[in-house]
């Protein structure tokens, strides 16, 4: 839940009110001056949202939303009450219940075990949010820390190398502060029965290295496919696919091979090191993969569109020699040389290889947006053309 989501909800509500009152549908492109009116509407939505944090009502004023039948300008005014506002965002607020319950469950705690509650971000100024937190935990949130500053303060605490020195307070013993990095989503490999057993579970402290033993499902397989996924479902999630690779194994009857799959996460942010080791042949493959965040493709595109005014392009990158594959997002404004460097860091591209799209090798000086690469298409990594 974020401020942009709430602003958008207010905008939709006001668009409905404008249509209801003046029969002007600003969602349709044919309306004159639509862009300027929508921009003013967004600004008003954000303003009244902030105003309703301290007032019982706020007035939306738009001097111009369109023209009447005789060409006269039409304005729009609406008084939005806090009760109406709370009703508009009730599902956003309720949506935070599950992650709070999950966080408490992961820590084996109940709401009553929490000593202090810090509110983080401007959205927590909203009275309905504060009331929800108060009801959930059964106590008043901390008001001494500014919700806008708390992120920066937390980042400062996290960078301390020598620990945190507490002031001695008479009659009080404070528990030491421990800050740990953890992985936010479980990681596993796809097996022949269509499930994804977890090798590393979410909320595991990092750095971490875990190994699990697997075997061959069919007789005399001479290679194995390692497909890596993240997520909590026992089945593969499309947005959780991180990549795959193949490696050679000693052909043996079904169930007799011993194959170690190891996952390692160290200090490199977001990088997963995957190792496959066949005990019989001694063959080992090591691949780097990038663990992606929780955002769906649609959400990623929304933020890319907001920041760069363009959409990220999702492609499947395939190394034709090793058959390694990677689900990858291209920044349309990036140069191919930047893509090359990133793919080399991920370990799927070597210096001698080129990046090919539709059998044409891409030039390092090209921008992605000039290559006509389409969403959902594939890139091949193979030896450069001479």
* pLDDT tens, position by position, 302-332: 544 544 445 678 899 999 988 888 888 888 8
Average pLDDT, the chain: 84
Q: Where in 135-252 does DSSP place strands (E)?
A: 187-189, 198-200, 208-214, 223-230, 241-248
Q: What is the pLDDT of residues 162-194, one digit of tens each?
A: 555 555 444 444 445 555 677 888 999 999 888
pLDDT at 308 (0 to 100): 45
pLDDT at 221 > cutoff 70: yes
pLDDT at 283 > cutoff 90: yes
Tell me how crowded residue 34 is: count the other CB atoms within 10 A of its CB.
17
Q: Are 318 and 244 in contact (CB under 8 A)?
A: no
Residue spans in the chain of domains classed CATH 3.30.420.40? 96-157
CATH code of 187-290, in short, is: 2.60.34.10
pLDDT at 317 (0 to 100): 92
Residue with tokens 């210096």: 351
User: Is the pTM for the entire model greater than 0.75?
Assistant: no
What's the average model confidence in pLDDT over 342-362? 90
pLDDT at 165 (0 to 100): 52
Q: Which CATH architecture has domain 297-383?
A: Roll (3.10)
In a 10 Å sphere around its CB, with 0-12 CB exposed, 13-18 middle and 19+ buried, how is residue 231 labelled? buried
pLDDT at 12 (0 to 100): 93
Beta-bridge partner residues of 293: none
pLDDT at 173 (0 to 100): 44
Confidence band for 267, pLDDT divided at 50, 70 and 90? low
Residue spans in the chain of domains classed CATH 3.90.640.10? 3-88
What's the average model confidence in pLDDT over 69-81? 89
Q: What is the pLDDT of residues 4-63, one digit of tens each?
A: 889 999 999 999 999 999 888 888 866 567 778 888 999 999 999 999 999 999 999 999
pLDDT at 178 (0 to 100): 58
Which stretches within 159-270 are classed as H helix? none
CATH code of 96-157, in short, is: 3.30.420.40
207 Cβ contact partners less than 8 Å away, ≥ 6 residues apart: 264, 265, 266, 267
Residue spans in the chain of domains classed CATH 3.10.20.90? 297-383
d(CA 243, CA 118): 38
3-state DSSP call for residue 133?
helix
More confident residue, 212 or 345: 212
CATH class for the region spanning 3-88: alpha beta
d(CA 336, CA 330): 10
The closest alpha carbon to 373, from 358, 353, 352, belongs to 358
Upper half-sphere CA count for residue 53 (Cβ side, 13 Å): 14
pLDDT at 302 (0 to 100): 53
What's the average model confidence in pLDDT over 233-238? 82
pLDDT at 177 (0 to 100): 52
β-pairing, 284-290 vs 313-319, is unpaired
What's the average model confidence in pLDDT over 256-268? 89
170 Cβ contact partners less than 8 Å away, ≥ 6 residues apart: none
Which stretches within 96-200 are classed as H helix? 97-106, 127-137, 150-158
Residue spans in the chain of domains classed CATH 2.60.34.10? 187-290
Q: What is the pLDDT of residues 87-144, one digit of tens each?
A: 999 999 999 998 899 888 877 788 988 988 988 888 898 999 999 999 999 999 988 8
What's the average model confidence in pLDDT over 150-167? 64
pLDDT at 181 (0 to 100): 75
pLDDT at 286 > cutoff 70: yes
pLDDT at 281 (0 to 100): 93
pLDDT at 307 (0 to 100): 44
């Amino acid at each position: 839940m974020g401020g942009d989501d709430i602003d958008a909800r207010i905008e939709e509500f006001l668009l409905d009110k404008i249509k209801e009152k003046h029969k002007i549908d600003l969602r349709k492109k044919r309306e004159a001056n639509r862009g300027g009116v929508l921009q003013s509407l967004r600004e008003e939505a954000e303003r009244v949202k902030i105003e309703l944090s301290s007032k019982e009502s706020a007035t939306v004023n738009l001097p111009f939303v369109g023209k009447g039948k005789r060409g006269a300008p039409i304005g729009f005014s609406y008084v939005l009450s806090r009760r109406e506002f709370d009703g508009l965002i009730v599902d956003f607020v309720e949506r935070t219940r599950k992650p709070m319950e999950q966080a408490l469950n992961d820590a084996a705690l109940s709401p009553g075990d929490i000593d202090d509650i810090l509110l983080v971000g401007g959205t927590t100024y909203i009275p309905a949010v504060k009331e929800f937190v108060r009801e959930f935990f059964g106590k008043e949130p901390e008001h001494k820390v500014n919700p806008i500053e708390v992120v920066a303060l937390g980042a400062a605490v996290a960078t301390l190398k020598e620990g945190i020195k507490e002031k001695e307070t008479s009659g009080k013993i404070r528990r030491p502060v421990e800050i740990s990095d953890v992985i936010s989503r479980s990681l596993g490999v796809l097996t022949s029965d269509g499930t994804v057993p977890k090798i590393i579970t979410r909320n595991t402290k990092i750095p971490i290295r875990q190994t699990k033993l697997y075997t061959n499902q069919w007789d005399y397989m001479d290679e194995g496919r390692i497909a890596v996924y993240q997520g909590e479902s026992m089945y593969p999630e499309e947005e959780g696919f991180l990549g795959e690779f193949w490696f050679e194994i000693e052909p043996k009857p079904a169930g007799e091979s011993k194959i170690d799959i190891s996952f390692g996460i160290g200090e490199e942010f977001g990088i997963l090191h995957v190792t496959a080791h066949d005990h019989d042949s001694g063959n080992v493959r090591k691949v780097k993969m990038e663990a992606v965040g929780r955002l769906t493709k649609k959400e990623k595109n929304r933020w890319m569109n907001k920041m760069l005014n363009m959409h990220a392009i999702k492609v499947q990158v395939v190394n034709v020699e090793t058959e390694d594959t990677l689900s990858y997002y291209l920044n349309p404004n990036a140069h191919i040389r930047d893509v090359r460097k990133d793919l080399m860091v991920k370990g799927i591209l070597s210096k001698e290889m080129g990046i090919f799209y539709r059998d044409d090798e891409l030039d390092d000086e090209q921008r992605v947006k000039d290559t006509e690469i389409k969403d959902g298409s594939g890139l091949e990594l193979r030896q450069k053309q001479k």
